[in-house]
Amino acid sequence: MKSYVFKRLLQLIPVLLGVSVVTFTLIHLAPGDPAHFMLQKTGAEPTKEALQALRHEMGLDLPIWQQYLRWCEQILQLNLGISIKSGDTVLKELLDRLPATLELAASSLAFVVLVAFPLGIFSAMYKGRWIDQLSRAMAIVFGAMPRFWLGLLFIYFFAVKFHVLPVAGRGDAVHLLLPTLTLGLGMSANYARLLRTSLLEVFSQEYVRAARARGVKPGQLVINYGLKNALVPILTAFGMSLGQLLGGSAIIETVFSWPGIGKFALESIMNRDYMVVQGYALLMALIFVVVNLCIDVACMLLDPKTKKLQVKQAGGGK
């Protein structure tokens, strides 16, 4: 396992290099001049001489490959640059907003566990009955519903029409309810369906049928035989979902004015704060790869077959 983890950590290097090259290239293909925006923000006259001086100071007059190497050198020193809008370091701006995004992601995943697991388990245990039909109906309705539209519906009914929940901002736990419901409902429906499918596959195995023939109760079948084997695909999907929640919840954060890292990235794109966008993409790539590495290790611990396969691929086994 150690060799596999070490190999995966080494794979971080080309992944982050690829993300950095793509992000840097796309940012520099975008219209607009950061130097011109900075001069406008400070109220200075964006004359030709002032623009040339500021571009030279920022290194924007260098060839693009030299700018990229200069940026990579700063990254190795944990310096993601300076935000054009605020003047603070990009790393500080991102880390200040990361806890809000982590809080929203954690509450959404907790909601998924509390809703999807019971639905998926009962749907598999009582296949074809009303609970199974309800679970599949939820998967169709909430899985196909756009999240931003669902969020706007929640805002209209719970905040505008009935005035029972706050509509925006981060404060008490009650502020988490609407964005958590918006992110969690669709995921819960999909995970309930995935868990149902995994459990039904496990229940069809011979050793489970033999246990059922010996008189083992359905609840014990689920706990002792079903969940451990069914959790491997669930954990794999969780890794993808966590990455999507951290990097892809920007629209929901904007809808609910949640002061997270995704909303900040969207604002930075609008403000052409290119250093923030580059740092955001790099940080999200790092988080996504590390989360999926942790999920892979968890799957190896749960499934001995997966562990043997991964160790063999890493060159640590015969």
Segment 260-283 shows an average pLDDT of 84
Which one is the CATH code of 98-272+280-313: 3.40.50.300, 3.10.310.30, 1.10.1740.10, 1.10.3720.10? Answer: 1.10.3720.10
**Rounded to whole angstroms, how far apart are CA atoms 171 and 169?**
7
Has residue 318 got a pLDDT over 60? no
Has residue 317 got a pLDDT over 50? no
Distances (CA, A) of 94 to 17, 41, 193, 265, 268: 20, 21, 35, 9, 11
Has residue 202 got a pLDDT over 70? yes
Give tens-digit pLDDT for 305-315.
555 555 455 55
pLDDT for the residue 52: 80
Render the burial of 112-124: b for 16+ CB within 10 Å, e for the rest: beebbbebbbbbb
The whole-chain average pLDDT of the chain stands at: 79
Alpha helices in the chain (DSSP H): 2-29, 34-42, 48-58, 64-76, 90-125, 130-144, 147-154, 177-203, 206-213, 218-221, 227-248, 250-255, 261-270, 274-302, 304-313
Give tens-digit pLDDT for 119-173.
888 888 888 888 888 888 877 888 778 888 888 888 888 888 888 888 777 877 8
pTM: 0.78
Residue 245 sits at the vertex; the CA angle it makes with 185 and 80, to the nearest 5 degrees, is: 165
Domain-by-domain residue ranges, the chain? 98-272+280-313
Segment 82-100 shows an average pLDDT of 85
Binned at pLDDT 50, 70 and 90, residue 316 comes out as: very low
Has residue 301 got a pLDDT over 80? no
The token pair at 180 is 């958590």
Segment 208-218 shows an average pLDDT of 76
Give tens-digit pLDDT for 238-258.
777 777 777 657 888 888 888
Has residue 185 got a pLDDT over 50? yes
Give tens-digit pLDDT for 14-66.
888 888 888 888 877 777 677 777 777 766 667 777 778 877 777 777 788 88
Name all contacts of 55-59 with Cβ < 8 Å and 24+ positions apart: 58/34
Segment 281-293 shows an average pLDDT of 82
Segment 223-228 shows an average pLDDT of 72
For the chain, percent of residues with pLDDT exceeding 90: 0
The token pair at 131 is 């609970």
Which of the residue ranges 16-30, 39-53, 94-108, 271-285 would you say has the lowest mean pLDDT?
A: 39-53
Greater pLDDT, 43 or 12: 12
pLDDT for the residue 56: 78
